[in-house]
Structure 1
Amino acid sequence: MERRKLGKAGPEVSAIGLGCMTMSPVYGQTLDEAEALATLGRALDLGVTFWDTADVYGMGHNEQLIGGFLKGRRDAVFLATKFGITRAGVNGDPAYVEQACDASLQRLGVEAIDLFYLHRAQPGRPIEETVEAMAKLVKAGKVRHLGLSEVSPQTLERACKVHQITAVQSEYSLWTRDPEAGVLEACERLGVGFVPYSPLGRGFLTGEIRSPDDFEEGDWRRGNPRFQGEAFARNLGLVDKVRALAEAKGVTPSQLALAWVMARNPHIVPIPGTRRRKYLEDNAGAVNVALSAAELAEIDAAFPPDLDAGQRYPDAMMGALNG
């Protein structure tokens, strides 16, 4: 597995990471814990050792699952988790920061978290307050690196004046180009790595979702604006473009989409999420896909930055993005 640095002077991690969220019943699926654990084991075999979780995934279940697996092999993985999204809303209160960290450490069964993200910036609270509290965790040895998720360039700049931010995590894919409006440039200028979540468009860019009925009952994507009505039909056309470009290249749609993300910058490390070994293996193969300048131009022509793929989240959740 190829390795990449998170930022110019940051830690080195596997060039493709593993988003672990769907190993908990977040998308409404029936949980197959045996397959989830087998997928974690296969990830180690493949060298996919940059793992991402959060305290809110399965309300602690996800961290417990990973923690149980890591007993006796903690050093094999660069472990990232997130805090700040609670049942009561976004919480970046300095008094809550250490409490959340301690709870994650206990569920994960580790002495230190490699990368600790603020999951969302709390509206109305200065980012400096939260990051200062997070920095104390580094001094205490509970956390090794700090990250932010879904923040604006201005918020990132202010945070870096308090403590070096190692990575920013935001949604980024062929159909979600928001970070190109300033966040990617800010990360490069400030020496911060960029970690795209949902680089496969929440599974849509794989080409395996052809109808809203393909989602299991209870899957929250059924209520996502991008998977409804005209937006769904329009986005199917985009998926067909991915499929055609991938076939011409002799790769899978997932590998093409991931290779495009990785080609944007050497400090970008996508974390496609899966709970199944076959998809993990397919995703890992993207490190072997090199895209020429002509191929990148062809992909960009098919997916221009101003492409309207539909709103990313329902209205109630949009306010927490790019905070």
Structure 2
Amino acid sequence: CEDSMNRMQTDYIDIYFIHYPNDEVDISETMSAMLDLKKEGKIREIGLSNFTRTQMEGALKIGRFEVIQPCYSLLWRFIEEDIVPFCLDNNIGIVAYSPIAQGILTGKFTKDWTFKKGDKRKSTPLFQDGLFEECLAVAGALKPYAKKHGKTQGQVAINWVTSQPGMTSAIVGARNAAQMKENIGASGWRLSREELAEIDKIGRRVTDKLPKYENFFSMRIID
């Protein structure tokens, strides 16, 4: 925590996340340490990232956390089953990461896309042969909505995410000012209820037949 404050040149952190659960350390120990940091005024709120519902239930028994950071997009919706209901029941905010599914939903990829050396996306579930092409079709199906609203496919995908129950915001990467401006364009307008439902069905062309992977970056199937 001290190192984080020094890097950011601040004397407190608004939200301090436990980025991944540590199987080698009991959650009670980790949460107790976070609660101590809060009492000391070094952090304002506690957040959890990449936790299962069971893990969150265990953490909540030790102390309050205000927000979680899970992977969520039109193409990756496992949290809808149990994590979103848990957060709604306990008034916990949800900040989704990868709302454009590692760039797939921007529409920039093609089926014959050549990935640069070191690009790890090719080793993740949505980029596997067969499934990748289906994901591209979903991205393509967002074009009419983008055209109607004067937006891009990526902006439609982000707007859809932030319109879902429990979502307070979304984290979208940006490497330059143009990408930052693109991300900002996902806010300040609304998809209609009918459009949200239609886009929901489009995404389910992929998500309804996805096996349950360990996480967004792993090929290990757990269910």
Flag whether TM exceeds 0.5 (same fold).
Answer: yes
Is 2:94 the partner of 1:190?
A: no
The corresponding residue for 1:216 is: 116
Q: Tell me by how many angstroms 1:247 deviates.
A: 2.4
Which of 96, 101, 119 lines up with 1:201 in the alignment?
101
Is 2:51 the partner of 1:147?
A: no
Describe the shift of the 1:166–1:204 C-alpha distance in structure 2 as closer, same or farther (beyond 3 A).
Answer: same
Q: Which runs of 5+ in 1 are unaligned?
A: 1-100
Q: Tell me by how many angstroms 1:267 deviates.
A: 4.5
Report the secondary structure of 2:74's partner residue: coil
Is 2:17 the partner of 1:117?
A: yes
Q: How many residues align?
A: 218
Report the secondary structure of 1:116's partner residue: strand
Please give the TM-score of this superposition, normalised by the length of structure 2.
0.88
1:138–1:145 CA contact under 8 A, matched in 2: yes
Is 2:63 the partner of 1:173?
A: no
Query: Which runs of structure 2 are paired with 1:60-139 in the superposition (5 Å)?
Result: 101-123=1-23, 125-139=25-39
1:212–1:228 CA contact under 8 A, matched in 2: no
The corresponding residue for 2:147 is: 247
Q: RMSD in angstroms over aligned alpha carbons?
A: 2.2
Q: Give the distance between the partners of 2:169 and 2:201, measured in 1 at CA.
A: 23
Q: Give the distance between the partners of 2:218 and 2:154, measured in 1 at CA.
A: 25
Which of 193, 205, 210 lines up with 1:308 in the alignment?
210
The corresponding residue for 1:45 is: none
Q: Give the distance between the partners of 1:310 and 1:235, measured in 2 at CA.
A: 16
Q: Give the distance between the partners of 2:143 and 2:114, measured in 1 at CA.
A: 18
| Identity across the alignment (%) | 32
Q: Give the distance between the partners of 1:267 and 1:225, measured in 2 at CA.
A: 24
Query: Which runs of structure 2 are paired with 1:268-279 in the superposition (5 Å)?
Result: 268-279=168-179
Q: Tell me by how many angstroms 1:272 deviates.
A: 0.9
Q: Tell me by how many angstroms 1:158 deviates.
A: 2.5
Report the secondary structure of 1:270's partner residue: strand
2:53–2:82 CA contact under 8 A, matched in 1: yes
Q: Which runs of 5+ in 2 are unaligned?
A: none
1:181 maps to a residue whose letter is E
2:158–2:186 CA contact under 8 A, matched in 1: yes
2:208 maps to a residue whose letter is D
- Name which structure has the greater RCO, CA cutoff 8 Å, separation 6+: 1
Q: Tell me by how many angstroms 1:207 deviates.
A: 0.6
Please give the TM-score of this superposition, normalised by the length of structure 1.
0.62
Q: Tell me by how many angstroms 1:310 deviates.
A: 9.0
The corresponding residue for 2:188 is: 288
